[in-house]
Structure 1
Amino acid sequence: MRSFYLFIFLVLASRAEAQEVSALAIGDSLYAVGNYSKAIESYEQIKAKNERVYLKLARAHQAKGTLDDALVNYKLAATGTDEVIAMNEYGKLLITKRQFKEADSVFSALISVYDTNPDFYYQRGRANENRPRDISGKESDSVLVEKLAKVHDPLEDYERAIALDSTHQKALAEVATSYLKQKDFAMVEKLAFKALESYPTNVEIISTLAQSYYYKGWNEEGIQWFEKLLALGQDTQFIREKLGNLYYKKRQYEDAIEQYLGALKFAPEDAYDHATLAKLYNFTADLDAAEMHGLFAVLYKDQPLFEEYYTLSRTYEMKKEWASAMKYVNRSLDENPRNKSAEYTKAIIADNYYEDRRAVLKLYEDFIKKYEDGKYAKFDHTLKLAKERRDKLNREIFMAEGEEE
């Protein structure tokens, strides 16, 4: 009889085990085709769950987007550093959920056992890079030092990851970005070219390199690398504006226009892009386009608008529409009375628009009086032109008054 009961027990246990194996297999199949909710239901049917099942549940919840449930199951799966896969995925999800302190603890535990794994250092760097510091200005220096010492330095972790794996692209990108913020362009370029040796199309690294050249003023190189980003399909407003500005600096106005028009596709109401296009179209003598973008810049920009008004006045000046030119140069000066370029432009517009020569003469005289004692007045080409025009107007007025007598 005892043997019979033992037999029945083994049969039932075997059936239960078979059911659990079946539930696990079904769950895996459902997960593989993206039916995460059904996969979770199947895994939940397993009564005697172990770390492996909890890991599958965590992954299914993460794929579904139910991240809080994913965290719960990852925690059950990551019972120690021997469960390295679960702990690694758990730590990464903690970063995603902005639980940086907890993520630091997870990766620090992993590093204590696997201290030659470069990615664990990289992930700990991620955890601490945006971690808020619980620091108060009222605390003593010793307390502050102690608190800071408890937070691992992200840059040190990134550099440690690179030391362990010189081709770790994400760590290289983080360190290069750090040096870019410090304006250490030589280090940026050294790290970037190191990264590109093993991964020539790393767009994050190429972007950092392009910005390095941009900010150090190497226009040709900046153009080369921003164009590379476009060729790799990385078309953004930021890239278009930076590339447009580089072409602007090289006086390649048609190329600059192409880039700023590309930038407007991302932000059609961007006042800066419209204002820049207005200036560029002035340079290419496409004055109708300059007028259109100048008006859009005024429409879309908040105060102040003196630069946009001034650009419009220059457009109308070149179109010889003097009334409109005077209208916008006056608006520019209303907002910024010390806009020297606008003051001189107003005198030129008045010279073509006003019939009263003495009123025009006074504008030149006021401009000269305001700026002739400046530190660099003798090198001021605009001041020289104003003086020449003043002297000529004086002769014209004198001759006209003599003829009247």
Structure 2
Amino acid sequence: MRSFYLFLFLVLASRAEAQEVSALAIGDSLYAVGNYSKAIAQYEQIANKNEQVYLKLARAHQAKGTLDDALTNYKLAATSTDEVIAMNEYGKLLITKRQFKEADSVFSALISVYQTNPDFYYQRGRANENRPSTISIKEPDSILKQKIAKVHKPLEDYEKAVALDSTHQKALAQVATSYLKRKDYPVVERLAFKALESYPTNVEIISTLAQSYYYKGWNEEGIEWFEKLLALGQDTQFIREKLGNLYYKKRKYEKSVEQYLGALKFSPEDWYLHATLAKLYNHTADLKSAETHGLFAVLYKDLPLDEEYYTLARTYEMKKDWKNAMKYVNRSLEEKPENKNAEYTKAIIADNYYEDRRAVLKLYEDFIKKYEKGEYAKYDPVLRLAQERRDKLNEEIFMAEGEEEE
């Protein structure tokens, strides 16, 4: 009889084990084809779940997007540093969920055992990169020192990852970005070229390198690397604007226009892009386009509008549409009376628009009187032009009045 019960127990145990194996296999098949909810249902049928089953549940929940459930199961799977795969994935998900302190603890535990794994240092750096500071300078020195000692500095972790693996692209990118923020451009470039040796199309590294050249004023090099980003399919408003500005500095106005038009596709109502295009089209003598974008800049921008009105005034001046030129230069000066360029431009427009020569003369005289006592007045080319035109007008008025007396 006892043998019979033993046999029955073994049969039932065998069936239960077979059912669990079947549920696991079915769950794995469903997970493989992206049917995560049904895969989860199969895994949940397993009565005696171990770390591997919890890991499968965690992965399925993460793939499905139910991240809180994924965290719960990762925690059950990551019972010790022996479960290194589960702990690694658990720590990464904690970063995604912005639970940075917990993520730091997970990767610190892994580092204590696996001290030569570069990615664990990189992940801990990520955990602390955006971790809110709980340190207050008002705290006693003893407490402050304790808190500071507990914080792992992200840059140090990134640099450790690079020291362990000189081809770790993400760590290299983070280190390069850190030095870019410090404006240490030689270090940025050295790190960038090191990264590109092993991965020549790393767009994050190329972007950092392009920005380094941009901010240090190496325009040709900046153009080269921003153009590489576009060639690699990285088309963004940021890239287009930076590239447009670089071409502008090189006085390649047509190419600059092309880039700012590309930027405009991302933000069609960006007043700054329209204003910049208006100025560029003035340089290329495409005055119709300059007028169009100048009007859009006025339409989309909140006050003040002095620069946009001034650009429109210059456009109409070049079109010899003196009425509109005067209209917009006056609007510019209403917005910002202390605009030297607009004041001089108004005198030029009046010179072509007004029949009253004395009214024009007064504008030049007022301008000269206002700026002739400036510290660098004798070096001011605009002031010199105004003085020359004043003298010429005085001569013209004198000659005209002499003819009238005869």
What TM-score does the superposition give when structure 1 sets the normalisation length? 0.99
Letter in 2 for 1:386: A
Q: Deviations over 1:4-62 (max 9, x none)?
A: 11111101000000000000000000000000000000000000000000000000000
SS at match of 2:89: helix
Deviations 1:63-99 (A, max 9, x none): 0000000000000000000000000000000000000
Inter-partner Cα distance in structure 1 for 2:397 and 2:64 = 84
Question: Partners of 2:41 and 2:140 in 1: how far apart?
Answer: 54
| 2-structure distance, mates of 1:129, 1:142 | 25
Aligned position for 2:371: 371
Shift of residue 137 of structure 1? 4.2
Query: What CA distance in whole angstroms lies between the structure 1 residues aligned with 2:148 and 2:335?
Result: 48
Q: Using the alignment, how far apart are the partners of 2:402 and 2:140 within structure 1?
A: 85
Structure 1 residues 299 and 159, CA, compared in 2 at 3 Å: closer, same or farther?
same
Is the counterpart of residue 345 in structure 1 residue 345 in structure 2?
yes
- C-alpha distance in 1 between matches for 2:400 and 2:141: 81
Alignment of 1:214-363 (within 5 A): 214-363=214-363
- Could you tell me which residue of structure 1 aligns to residue 211 of structure 2? 211
Secondary structure, in 3 states, of the residue corresponding to 1:5?
helix
Counterparts of 2:372 and 2:170, CA distance in 1 = 57
After superposition, residues 79-118 of structure 1 pair within 5 angstroms as 79-118=79-118
User: Which SS does the other structure have where 2:143 is aligned?
Assistant: helix
| CA distance in 2: counterparts of 1:322 and 1:20, whole angstroms | 88
- Alpha-carbon offset, residue 101 of structure 1: 0.2
SS in 2 for 1:34: coil
Structure 2: distance between partners of 1:11 and 1:42 = 22
Report the Cα offset of residue 366 of structure 1. Answer: 1.1
CA distance in 2, matches of 1:116, 1:160: 9
Contiguous gaps of at least 5 residues in structure 2 = none
- Whole-Å Cα distance in 2 between the matches of residues 146 and 380 of structure 1? 60
More deviation in 25-34 or 364-373? Answer: 364-373
Farther-moved stretch of structure 1 (187-196 vs 393-402): 393-402
Return the alpha-carbon distance in structure 2 between the equivalents of residues 48 and 54 of structure 1: 11
Provide the C-alpha distance between the structure 1 equivalents of 2:353 and 2:143, rounded to a whole number of angstroms: 72
Q: How far off its partner does 1:375 sit?
A: 1.8
Look up the SS of the partner of 2:248 in the other structure. Answer: helix
For residues 118-144 of structure 1, give each alpha carbon's deviation from its aligned partner in whole angstroms, at most 9, with x where no partner exists. 000000000001000113343233332
1:274 maps to amino acid: H
Q: Cα RMSD between the aligned structures?
A: 0.8
1:127-146 superposed matches below 5 A: 127-146=127-146
Count of equivalent residues: 405
Question: What secondary structure is seen at the aligned counterpart in 2 of 1:103?
Answer: helix
- Alignment match, 1:37: 37
Q: SS state of the match for residue 123, structure 1? A: helix
- Structure 2 CA distance for aligned equivalents of residues 142 and 320 of structure 1: 74
- 2:224 is matched by which residue type in structure 1? Q
Q: Does 1:193 align with 2:193?
A: yes
Distance 1:303 1:33 in 2: 56
- Consecutive unaligned residues in structure 1, runs of 5 or more: none
Which residue is equivalent to 1:179?
179
Calculate the TM-score normalised by the size of structure 2: 0.99
Q: Take 2:270 and 2:315, find their aligned partners in 1: how far apart are those partners?
A: 20
- The corresponding residue for 1:59 is 59
Q: Which residue of 2 aligns with 1:148?
A: 148
Q: Distance in 1 between matches of 2:61 and 2:197?
A: 38
Whole-angstrom CA distance in 2 between matches of 1:148 and 1:298: 51
Q: What SS class does the counterpart of residue 81 from structure 1 fall into?
A: coil
* C-alpha distance in 2 between matches for 1:379 and 1:205: 45
- Percent identity, aligned pairs only, is 86
Q: Which residue type is aligned with residue 230 of structure 2?
A: L
CA distance in 2, matches of 1:303, 1:115: 58
Further displaced range: 52-61 or 334-343: 334-343
Q: AA paired with 1:211?
A: Q
Alignment partner, residue 158 of structure 2: 158
4+ residue segments displaced more than 2 Å: 135-138, 140-146
